Amino acid sequence: MDGVDRVREIGIFLLQSSMAPCDCNMLPRSYSAYQVFVEITAPKPRLRLSWRNLSLHRKPAKWSRSLRSGPALEVIKAEDMGKTQVKDDTSRFTWIQIGPNITEEQKQAISQLPRKMTKSCKAFVKQIICVSPETGNLSDLLAAWVRFMKPRRADWLAVLKQLKLMEHPLYLQVAELALLEESFEANIRDHTKIIHGYGKKMQIQNAENTLLAMKRRGFICDQVTLTVMVDMYSKAGNLKMAEETFEEIKLLGEPLDKRSYGSMVMAYVRAGMLDRGEVLLREMDAQEVYVGSEVYKALLRGYSMNGNSEGAQRVFEAIQFAGITPDARMCALLINAYQMAGQSQKAYTAFENMRKAGLEPSDKCVALILSACEKENQLNRALEFLIDLERDGFMVGKEASCTLAAWFKRLGVVEEVEHVLREYGLRETYSKIPASQSIAL
C-alpha cells in the first residue's frame, strides 16, 4: 500500500467510525452520495470531502502536484439503510453509522468511554458496541482497524481493558482474535486471561481450545496457566481432570505455590472428599505454604455441615497455626459442628473462647448454643446462658428468639417460661420485642 492509499483509508476510517449524530446532521439531506478525495501535497496531505457545490477541507497549503493512485475511493451514504459501505479495489467492509439510529443502550455505552482513550481506539470500541450480524463479521472489523490504524500493543490493551470493564459479550472473542495479530505481541499471560475468562463462564471447551492453540504457537504451560485450569475443572465438578492437571503442575519441577494448592483443596471440598483436602493441608504445612482463609473456611464448613466435630477442630487449629486469626464466622462453624454432634459443653466452651478473644458473638452463635442445649434437654442451662448474656448487656436477636420459642412450644411450657423470663427481667433482652410476642412466634 502506497502513501496515497494509506492516508485515504485513515481518513475514511476516522470519518465514518467516529462521526457523531450532530456531525451527520451537518450534511445536506438532499444529497444521497458524496466523494472523499485525498490529495498528497508538499509538505503534508489534506483531506477534502466534497459534493456538487459544497467542499469541507483544511486550509489549502502550497502544493506542487496532486496524485491519485488507483480507482477513486467512494463512500456511499444510504439513509434508508442506516449504514455506510466503504469500498476499494481489494476488499469491502461495512461500517456502522454512529448516528441517531443507534439504540439507547448503545448510546449509554458510548457515552461512558474514557476521554483519555485515543481517537482510533475509541472509534474501534464504538464499532464493537454497535456491531451486529447484519453489519458484518467481527474478524473483518478487527482486520480493517489493524489495516487502517496500525495499532500497537498499548492500543490493543486499552481496547480490551475497556471491553472488560464494560463486561461486553464480545470481549473474549476480540481478545482471541487479537492473539492472531502480530502487532498485539501476544504472550503466555494473554492466553491465560482468556482461559480464565472462559473458565468463569464455565465454557470448558473454549478454554481447552485456547490452551491447545497456545501450545501450538510454541508457548509452554506454566504453573499459573495450569492452576487456572485446575480451578476451572474444580468449579465444573470434574475432579478427574483437576487431579490430572494438578499432577501436570508437579511435573514442572517447581515448588507449588498457595494458589495451586488452594485450587486443588477446593476441588476436593467441592467433591465432598474433605479428608483428601486435609492431606494437602498437611503437605502444605510441611513446606510452610499457607493458602488463603477462604480455603480453610471452605474445608471447615464442609466438616461443620457434616457434623464432624473432630475434623472441624483439626481445621480450626490449622487455621491458627497458619497465622490466620479466626473470625466470628469461623467460630460459628466450629460451634455448629459441636451442636450437630450433640456436644453442648464443647459448643459452649467454643462460644466462651470466642468472647474471650474479643469477638462479638452473632445471633447465629447464640441460636446454635440453644439448639445444642435442646438436643441434650438442658433447659435450665439454656436459661442460665441467656441470663448471663443479659447481665453482659447482650441483646438476643430474632434467630435465637425463634429457636427458643420453638423449643418451648415443643415442651408445652410457654406460659411457665414466660413467667420465668418476666421474673428475671429478660423479656426485652430475650428478643428485642416483648417476650410474649416472641414466644408466640
50 and 94 share a domain? Answer: yes
Element (H or E) spanning 37, and its range? strand 33-39
Does residue 94 sit within a domain?
A: yes
pLDDT at 1: 52
Phi (first) and psi of residue 226, to 5 degrees: -65, -35
Question: Counting every residue, how long is the chain?
Answer: 441
14 and 69 share a domain? Answer: yes
Q: Is the dihedral of CA 41, 47, 49, 53 positive or negative?
A: negative
37 and 95 share a domain? Answer: yes
pLDDT at 156: 97
88 and 107 share a domain? Answer: no
**From CA 88, how far away is CA 74, in angstroms rounded?**
8
CA 6 and chain centroid, separation: 40
Confidence of residue 183 (pLDDT cuts 50, 70, 90): very high
Where do runs of H (alpha helix) occur along 131-170? Answer: 138-149, 153-165
Q: Is the pLDDT of residue 192 over 50?
A: yes
117 and 156 share a domain? Answer: yes
Element (H or E) spanning 328, and its range? helix 328-340
Does residue 384 sit within a domain?
A: yes
**From CA 269, how far away is CA 273, in angstroms rounded?**
6
Asked whether 437 and 416 are in contact (CB, 8 A), the reply is no
Last residue of a domain, one of 50, 77, 100: 100
CA 223 and chain centroid, separation: 21
Peptide bond into 43 cis (omega under 30): yes
Does residue 264 sit within a domain?
A: no
Does residue 220 sit within a domain?
A: no
pLDDT at 52: 36
Give residue 131's domain range.
102-186
Asked whether 335 and 343 are in contact (CB, 8 A), the reply is no
95 and 121 share a domain? Answer: no
Does residue 230 sit within a domain?
A: no
Q: What is the pTM of this model?
A: 0.71
Strands in 117-272 per DSSP E = none
Average pLDDT, the chain: 79
Give the pLDDT confidence of 325-383 residue by residue, as tens digits.
999 999 999 999 999 999 999 999 999 999 999 998 899 999 999 999 999 889 889 98
pLDDT at 411: 83
Asked whether 280 and 305 are in contact (CB, 8 A), the reply is no
**From CA 85, how far away is CA 32, in angstroms rounded?**
13
**In this predicted model, which residue has the larger pLDDT, 18 or 323?**
323
pLDDT at 197: 97
68 and 119 share a domain? Answer: no
182 and 117 share a domain? Answer: yes
Strand partners, 35: 50, 74
Last residue of a domain, one of 162, 186, 210: 186
386 and 339 share a domain? Answer: no
Does residue 269 sit within a domain?
A: no
**In this predicted model, which residue has the larger pLDDT, 71 or 351?**
351
The number of beta carbons lying within 10 Å of the beta carbon of residue 210 is 25
The number of beta carbons lying within 10 Å of the beta carbon of residue 162 is 22
Last residue of a domain, one of 337, 363, 389: 363
**In this predicted model, which residue has the larger pLDDT, 142 or 5?**
142
**Domains in the chain, number:** 4
Does residue 279 sit within a domain?
A: no
The per-type count for the chain, helices as H runs and strands as E runs, is 23, 6
